[in-house]
Amino acid sequence: MHDLLSHISESLSSVFDSIAFFKPEVYLALLFIVVMITDLIFGKRSLKLCRIVACAGLLLVVYLDLKQFALILDGNHLIFSNMLLLSRSGIFFKLIIDLLSFILLLYFGWDNKLNGHQKGLSDLYSIAIASVFGLHLMVMAVNLLSIYLAIEMVSIASYLMVAYRTENAFSTEAGLKYVLFGAASSAIMLYGISLLYGFSGSLDIIFKYSIQHLSAVNPVSSSFAMILVLLGIGFKLSFVPVHFWVPDVYQGASTPVTAYLSTVPKIAAFALLINFISPFIFTTYWKGFDIGIAFALIGTVTMVAGNFAAVLQTNVKRMLAYSSIGHTGFALMAVVVLSLHSVSVLSYYLLVYALANIGALALATYFANEAGAEDVEEYRGLGLKYPIASVCFVIILISLTGLPVTAGFTGKLFVFSAVYGVYQQTHSIWLMLLMITGALTTVVSLFYYIKIPLNLFLKRKEMVEISNKKSVNLLILSIFISFILILLGIFPHWVLQLL
């Protein structure tokens, strides 16, 4: 009995000690409660107030993220009985997620269709804050149980966001598809987790003894368990072969929700993937399949499938959905050559990709609000009517393609350099295939990205209908993002010095 009491005392002491490293997440939990209570108290009048509270709260969380850099000067910290890991790269990922989420919360209210929802957007802000909390957990999770709980928390919030516009049949259908695919991937991942736990006898994947125990199991069995877990994580990353949900869900969801799903969960999923596979890569005990070769193959197929499918699309949102699959494949190049340098490169690439993707979707909303244009053909002649927005669209698409002098070019250059540096040492045919595919698919991406500038400036339309409502906020956001993409392309060290 005395031993049990002392164990409880030690556990409580460990929990209280961990809270000092968990302050941003504590504030996010409180922010979720405050936004929800604000909505309950003020009802339909709470829209602007909930938005102000959510945005101000996220800025406070960003400040707390920055303060966490001082906590890890003496190294990484495992907290809550080894469930979560606080590291420098993890803090940077959280910082990116919070800043992008702040922009997206502002963006929610600027979409005419979403803003016209009869229930208002107050619920959506509380769901988004809950999702950000789950994304923080995904970035820090290093225990099989915490990994599963974090992914499920984000998934449930994502299902609600996709189907938020219940009066829209297409949105409801997209939400249902997302739930079905998500439930299947969750079940697959949970089965893989149970197998890994049964084989290793531990939920802690970060420790060497867990991999040692796995090495005593038949390599086929342990590899099968690993593949199942990676498929579950891959659902969030949307790499091939678990990418089928992306086009329909992205097209069916409201454009700001599409911007959210295509950026911040993907960033958190990459951080989670790095945490999960690092112990298996940096050890000699793992006897299963070669993880580097597996991701080289997945990255190659994902780049090809995403970019070639995007060429065939006419709907702007659907085209950007397939484009995001291609970008996932390109980002996997940095995972294949996993190291501290490649993680820094990956962080930079994901930041500039996310900014550009949000900018592109914000401009898709702008043209939908102003001229009702949703397909590429409907953009004809709009470049002369909306010159500032159109020029910004061109800059953002140049960054997504990876052309100078934008941040997209710098990001792709860094990724290629990281892969080529490892190739010079190993002369791996898989790395060579990966680089060739990356270069070719970058050229292919020109064929679908150029459709938008072509229709904006070089094709004419007899009459363009202009709405009375001006989307000034979206225009300001697109100008800001365009400026940042050029600035980060010229001065990438502003970001890299934080890593």
> With helix as H, strand as E and coil as C, how does 403-429 read?
CCCCHHHHHHHHHHHHHHHHHHHHCCH
- Residue-range domain boundaries for the chain: 291-499
Above 70 in pLDDT, residue 464? no
- Under the banding of pLDDT at 50, 70 and 90, the label for residue 331 is very high
Q: What is the per-residue pLDDT across 161-183, written as a single tens digit (0 to 9) for each? A: 888 765 666 777 777 888 888 89
- Under the banding of pLDDT at 50, 70 and 90, the label for residue 30 is very high
Q: What is the per-residue pLDDT across 197-240, written as a single tens digit (0 to 9) for each? A: 888 888 888 777 778 888 788 888 888 999 999 999 988 888 88
Above 70 in pLDDT, residue 44? no
Q: What is the pLDDT of residue 351?
A: 93
- Under the banding of pLDDT at 50, 70 and 90, the label for residue 152 is very high
Q: What is the pLDDT of residue 166?
A: 59
Average pLDDT (415-431) is: 90
Q: What is the pLDDT of residue 396?
A: 94
Distance of CA 154 to the CA centre of its chain: 11
- Under the banding of pLDDT at 50, 70 and 90, the label for residue 100 is very high
Between CA 229 and CA 147 the distance in angstroms is: 10
Q: What is the pLDDT of residue 411?
A: 92
Above 80 in pLDDT, residue 400? yes
**Between residues 251 and 408, the one the model is more confident about:** 408
- Under the banding of pLDDT at 50, 70 and 90, the label for residue 438 is very high
Q: What is the pLDDT of residue 203?
A: 84
Q: What is the pLDDT of residue 200?
A: 85
Using the structure block, give the residue that is written with the tokens 């501290």: 340
Neighbour tally for 439: CB within 10 Å: 12
Q: What is the per-residue pLDDT across 121-148, written as a single tens digit (0 to 9) for each? A: 778 889 999 999 999 999 999 999 999 9
Q: What is the pLDDT of residue 443?
A: 92
- Under the banding of pLDDT at 50, 70 and 90, the label for residue 462 is low
Average pLDDT (44-73) is: 87
What value does the mean pLDDT of the chain take?
A: 86
Above 70 in pLDDT, residue 469? no
Q: What is the per-residue pLDDT across 352-390, written as a single tens digit (0 to 9) for each? A: 999 999 999 999 989 888 888 888 888 888 888 888 999
* Bridge partners, 84 (sequence order): 79, 141
Average pLDDT (150-166) is: 86
Q: What is the pLDDT of residue 468?
A: 47
Tokens of 274: 């790095």
Q: What is the pLDDT of residue 207?
A: 74
**Between residues 410 and 109, the one the model is more confident about:** 410
**Between residues 12 and 443, the one the model is more confident about:** 443
Cα end-to-end distance, the chain, whole Å: 47
Angle, vertex CA 138, rays to CA 133 and CA 140, nearest 5: 100
Q: What is the pLDDT of residue 11?
A: 65
Average pLDDT (336-353) is: 90
Average pLDDT (395-406) is: 91
Q: What is the per-residue pLDDT across 252-309, written as a single tens digit (0 to 9) for each? A: 888 888 999 999 999 999 999 999 998 888 877 888 888 889 999 999 999 999 999 9
Above 90 in pLDDT, residue 47? no
Least confident piece of the model among 50-59, 170-179, 417-426: 170-179
The pTM (predicted TM-score) of the whole model is 0.93
- Under the banding of pLDDT at 50, 70 and 90, the label for residue 8 is low
Average pLDDT (43-63) is: 86
The 3 state secondary structure assigned to the chain is CHHHHHHHHHHHHHHHHHHCCCHHHHHHHHHHHHHHHHHHHHHHHHHHHHHHHHHHHHHHHHHHHHHHHHHHCCCCEEECCCCEEECHHHHHHHHHHHHHHHHHHHHHCCCHHHHCCCCCCHHHHHHHHHHHHHHHHHHHECEHHHHHHHHHHHHHHHHHHHCCCCCCHHHHHHHHHHHHHHHHHHHHHHHHHHHHHHHHCCCECCCHHHHHHHHCCCHHHHHHHHHHHHHHHHHHHCCCCCCCCHHHHHHHCCHHHHHHHCCHHHHHHHHHHHHHHHHHHCCCCCCCCCHHHHHHHHHHHHHHHHHHHHHCCCEHHHHHHHHHHHHHHHHHHHHHCCCHHHHHHHHHHHHHHHHHHHHHHHHHHHHHHHHCCCEHHHHCCHHHHCHHHHHHHHHHHHHHHCCCCCHHHHHHHHHHHHHHHHHHHHCCHHHHHHHHHHHHHHHHHHHHHCHHHHHHHHCCCCCCCCCCCCCHHHHHHHHHHHHHHHHHHHCCHHHHCCC
Q: What is the pLDDT of residue 439?
A: 92
